[in-house]
């Protein structure tokens, strides 16, 4: 495999890197336990499509507020303490879901969980970015994404099995225990990351954010990140409801469909990361987003579980190409603006897409049903991608530039 055979990468597969990847996997597996269960649980308590959208919107709102702050502060105050704090919140919220008895209760817990996610995601990515050598950003982020996608991918099927065997609360307990284990590993075995000179310059926080947003190429990367999340959040949040209510699928089958899609994405991260370092990252990004938009347009018209499974697997392929390319583009900017701050803003674009996607999808599904709602979401995704393309193409890396350094 080209990724592992490369000496620049093989020599840097150290114990701290393995600890970070293992911790990320365990934490994301815990999050994955509740992905298919939470919408169904909320639906049983009387949640409408709009209310389900608010669950995700609240999560994305709190995560979006915290991510740029946690990422930027980790540049100057160290990354480990923020990662630990986020995992503590994950564990508390996992157990806390079992104390809820109304949609409002779930919304509150979900909002608090978003605060934890706002610490975990950008800081873990900044850890990985700190260790990535120049021109290998795509492959390093592919390695990170494997741990993330494998965790989120294996969680739903295990959560579905726990639900079918022991009831829905077992899945929430699973998240609490998994997050606690990840926290223990970080405290014992993960060292503090070395922060680069750019991160230590002491530039005022708002000035850092302004410099990122003023960069035309970074604006394009952030906008396309929003675009992709419009597609992803509508599928992850509302597909379990569609499969349960329309297709009459069991919780285990819902978990299997989500897991297969995520594992496909994880398995393709290495080759897609290699592509991201060899070929034009912007063009690969555009291809991936437009492909996913086309697939989402068909999702709501599915009448059989196997149709949903095939479409979801194809979405996994598109996501596999998208993740390392955009992450690598963000890391290029991070070397100038500060890696933690850049990853915080980069992930805030993700949460903005989650917020917009969850609210709009909830409203559209309540108004038009799943078929037309997903088609309209696909149009929004494609349009946003096309708007962001000219921004990203400015000063884009070309294959020749990358090859010259290999």
Q: Is residue 4 part of a domain?
A: no
Q: Is 258's pLDDT higher than 90?
A: no
Domain of 395: which CATH number? 1.20.1250.20
Question: Can you tell me the mean pLDDT for 342-350?
Answer: 78
Q: Is 255's pLDDT higher than 80?
A: no
What's residue 338's pLDDT?
72
Q: What is the pLDDT of residues 75-108, one digit of tens each?
A: 778 889 899 999 999 999 989 998 988 888 999 9
What's residue 84's pLDDT?
93
Of 20, 176, 143, 131, the C-alpha closest to 83 is 20
The pTM for the full model equals 0.68
Domain range for 39 is: 13-188+205-403
Q: Is residue 198 part of a domain?
A: no
Of 74, 70, 88, the C-alpha closest to 183 is 88
3-state helix, strand, coil in the chain (%, to 5): 85, 0, 15
Q: Is residue 216 part of a domain?
A: yes
Q: Is residue 371 part of a domain?
A: yes
Q: What is the pLDDT of residues 368-392, one digit of tens each?
A: 888 888 899 899 899 988 888 888 8
Q: Is residue 175 part of a domain?
A: yes
Handedness of CA 213, 219, 221, 226 (dihedral sign): positive
Q: What is the pLDDT of residues 13-24, one digit of tens each?
A: 677 888 888 888
DSSP-derived secondary structure letter, 348: H
What's residue 304's pLDDT?
84
The CA distances from residue 99 to 31, 52, 102, 103, 106, in Å, are 17, 19, 10, 12, 9
Q: Is residue 5 part of a domain?
A: no
Q: How far is it, in rounded angstroms, from Cα 205 to Cα 177? A: 35
Highest mean pLDDT among 60-64, 109-113, 117-121, 166-170: 109-113
Q: How far is it, in rounded angstroms, from Cα 338 to Cα 309? A: 40
Of 206, 210, 231, 207, the C-alpha closest to 219 is 210
Q: How far is it, in rounded angstroms, from Cα 363 to Cα 366? A: 5
Q: Is residue 195 part of a domain?
A: no
Structure-token pair, residue 291: 């492909």
Q: Is residue 8 part of a domain?
A: no
């Amino acid at each position: 495999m080209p990724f592992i055979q490369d000496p620049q990468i093989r020599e840097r597969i150290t114990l701290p890197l393995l600890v970070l990847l293992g911790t990320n996997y365990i934490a994301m597996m815990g999050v994955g336990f509740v992905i298919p269960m939470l919408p169904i649980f909320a639906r049983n308590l009387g949640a409408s499509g709009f209310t389900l959208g608010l669950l995700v919107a609240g999560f994305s709102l709190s995560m979006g507020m915290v991510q740029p702050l946690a990422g930027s502060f980790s540049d100057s105050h160290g990354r480990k303490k923020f990662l630990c704090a986020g995992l503590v919140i994950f564990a508390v919220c996992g157990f806390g879901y079992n104390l809820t008895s109304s949609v409002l209760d779930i919304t509150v817990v979900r909002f608090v969980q978003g605060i934890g996610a706002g610490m975990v995601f950008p800081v873990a990515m900044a850890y990985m970015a700190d260790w990535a050598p120049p021109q290998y950003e795509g492959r390093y982020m592919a390695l990170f994404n494997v741990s993330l996608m494998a965790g989120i991918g294996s969680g739903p099927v295990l959560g579905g099995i726990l639900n079918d065997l022991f009831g829905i609360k077992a899945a929430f307990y699973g998240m609490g225990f998994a997050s606690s284990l990840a926290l223990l590993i970080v405290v014992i075995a993960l060292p503090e990351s070395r922060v680069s000179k750019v991160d230590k310059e002491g530039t005022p926080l708002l000035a850092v954010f302004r410099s990122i947003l003023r960069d035309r190429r970074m604006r394009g990367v952030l906008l396309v990140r929003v675009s992709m999340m419009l597609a992803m959040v509508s599928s992850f949040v509302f597909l379990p409801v569609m499969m349960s209510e329309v297709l009459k699928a069991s919780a285990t089958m819902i978990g299997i469909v989500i897991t297969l899609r995520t594992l496909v994405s994880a398995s393709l991260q290495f080759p897609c990361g290699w592509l991201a370092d060899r070929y034009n990252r912007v063009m690969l990004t555009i291809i991936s987003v437009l492909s996913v938009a086309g697939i989402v347009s068909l999702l709501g018209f599915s009448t059989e579980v196997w149709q949903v499974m095939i479409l979801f697997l194809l979405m996994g392929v598109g996501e596999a190409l998208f993740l390392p390319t955009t992450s690598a583009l963000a890391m290029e900017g991070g070397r100038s603006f500060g890696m933690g701050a850049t990853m915080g803003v980069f992930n805030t674009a993700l949460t903005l897409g989650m917020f917009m996607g969850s609210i709009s999808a909830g409203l559209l599904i309540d108004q038009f049903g799943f078929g037309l709602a997903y088609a309209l979401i696909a149009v929004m995704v494609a349009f946003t991608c096309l708007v962001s393309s000219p921004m990203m193409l400015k000063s884009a890396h070309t294959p020749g530039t990358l090859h010259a350094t290999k």
